[in-house]
A = this chain, B = another copy of it.
Amino acid sequence: MRSVAAGAPAQRLALVRTENHATVFCCDSVEVETNTAPEFVDITEQVESVVAASGVRFGQATVYSTHTTAAVKINENEPLLLKDMARALDQAASCEADYHHNDFSRRTANMDDDECPNGHAHCQHLFLPTSETIPILDGKLTLGQWQRVFLVELDRPKRRRVLVNVLGVCED
């Protein structure tokens, strides 16, 4: 473990000025039905489709979860790894532990009609992002070789909503 000032200069990949190009702001909603928890739902193709449909050539896409017990995470889609990450989430905040949030005899705030004990899901979410922002180059997300975009369900089977907010310049 070290801290080094890495030496190589940055390499310019793109620079676009908007005099001759329109700037576009585009927001799409991706709806996901989850089946269990934790569940890593690979939404990469949907995010790629939103970017393609936006017509944006250079800019960025922000993937945003509108939920407090479902997160956005970029990692690898390898089935055995997803089992490892599910275990890591349980070690961070076990669904077997006690949570004040689950004590409906004391709790008065934010009670839903179908309230279920989900303190572990909130506490797992504490350590995961709500949003990630991915650059767009030549009309494509700059995902690395193994990177996939997941909605991570932490609670229970639910209908979830992810927003994909794209902004940048079109070439036309």
Contacts and interface: CB of A to CB of B under 8 A. Distances in A.
Interface in A75-125: 75-86, 88-89, 91-93, 99-101, 103, 106-107, 109-110, 119, 122-123, 125
Contacts of A151: 6
* Chain A: number of interface residues, binned into ranges: 35 or more
B74 A68 contact: yes
**So how many copies of this chain end up in the complex?**
3
A144 B64 CA distance: 10
Contact of A39 (B1, B8, B80): B1
A100 B137 CA distance: 35
A166 to B, nearest CB: 9
15 contacts: A1-B37, A1-B82, A5-B42, A6-B30, A8-B31, A9-B46, A62-B135, A68-B146, A77-B109, A80-B99, A84-B119, A85-B122, A131-B132, A135-B163, A167-B168
